[in-house]
Amino acid sequence: MAQSDLDRFDRRLLALVQRDAAQTADALAGQVGLSASAVQRRLKRLRETGVILSEIAVIDPLKAGKPNFFLAALEIERERPELIARLRQWLGAEEQIQQVYYVTGTADFVLVVVAPDVGAYDALMSRLMADNPNVRRFTTNVALGVGKRGLFVPIAD
């Protein structure tokens, strides 16, 4: 499903379920101006075509787990592009690595890492360096707090 396949109703639905995926189809129907079954059909299609990747519960880290957040900026040797794919795969497989951004600028990759404590973070990053020789160095910013945490994607309406 390409972006152009999303009509106004789909886009409005996506905006709504990104904020609250637990709403009933009936509630959504009222907001977008369709019947409940039309909403169901559209949501089903959006899930099947991968526009909606998943529906997840967002947990308050202060109330469950009390993890620490770290931001790591990796600098890569670009001479060996074949190693980059391996690195991406490695990053994707680590559950403590929550987010991976491939960036330009002072760094090449920026990671959002969540770990129970500094020791676990250190252990993770040691493994990262040991397993991926093309990571030249990295810098870490330790998060003292998290002000906001979301995955909202704005959709042109």
Structure tokens at 73: 């900026």
Token reading at 40: 């169901």
Q: Does position 99 bind DNA by CB under 7 A? A: no
Which of 33-41, 47-55, 75-83, 122-130 is the region at the interface with its own copies (rule: CB under 8 A)? 47-55
Q: What angle do CA 73, 76, 77 make, to 5 degrees?
A: 165
Tell me which DSSP letter residue 65 carries.
Answer: T
CB of 19 to its own copies, least distance (A): 7
Gap between the Cα atoms of 109 and 75, Å rounded = 7
Does 17 bind DNA (CB under 7 A)? Our answer is no
Taking CB under 8 A as the rule, does residue 85 contact its own copies?
no
Binding status of residue 91 toward its own copies by CB under 8 A: yes
Q: Which of 82, 119, 130, 148 binds its own copies (CB under 8 A)?
A: 148
CB 152 within 8 A of CB 19: yes
71 by DSSP, 3-state: which? strand
**Residue 74 binds what, of DNA, its own copies, none (CB under 5 to 8 Å, by partner type)?**
none
Q: Among 96, 40, 32, 107, which residue's Cα sits nearest to residue 73?
A: 107
Asked if 96 interacts with DNA (CB under 7 A), we say: no
User: Which one among 31, 35, 99, 126 touches DNA, defined by CB under 7 A?
Assistant: 35
Do 113 and 97 form a contact (C-beta atoms < 8 A)?
yes
The window from 27-35, 56-64, 75-83, 127-135 that contacts its own copies (CB under 8 A) reads 56-64
Q: Which is nearer to DNA, 2 or 144 (CB)?
A: 2
Q: Which of 149, 152, 153 is nearest to 60 (CA)?
A: 149
Q: Would you count residue 24 as binding its own copies (CB under 8 A)?
A: no
Contacts to DNA by CB under 7 A: 9, 24-26, 34-38, 40-42, 44
